[in-house]
Amino acid sequence: MFDMFSQYVETSGLVGALLTTIAFLPQVVRTWRQGGEGLSYLMLALFLAGTALWLFYGIALGSLPIVLANGVTALQVLIMFALKLRGARRREEVK
């Protein structure tokens, strides 16, 4: 009985992680297309620091959903960082 409940809990966490990670994808695609001019470095840095702390928290708690969600989101944020840097360099070249 308890095992079934904790399975529901784990599944909820995993599906929640999947959904919030998928919901983040359009932002990555938009950054790819537009070069990330609309994103601030401050926001990206906050997100990156936040997901890093979440990762530590998730590992310490032994929570797979937290580790997965924040591992993937940290990767997405890093990709957006790189895209914004590339976009900024391109805009500089165009000038």
What are the tokens at 1?
A: 């009985």
- The residue within the footprint of a second copy, chosen from 31, 35, 36, 65 (CB under 8 A), is 65
Contacts of 11 (CB under 8 A, 6+ apart): none
Indicate the Cα dihedral angle 80, 39, 34, 88, nearest 10°. Answer: -80
Residue span 10-49 as binding mask against a second copy, x where in contact by CB under 8 A, dash where not = --xx-xxxxxxxxx--x---x-------x-x--xx-xx-x
- DSSP code, position 39: S
Asked if residue 83 binds a second copy (CB under 8 A), the reply is no
Question: Contact residues for a second copy (CB under 8 A)?
Answer: 5-6, 9, 12-13, 15-23, 26, 30, 38, 40, 43-44, 46-47, 49-54, 56-57, 60-61, 63, 65-66, 70
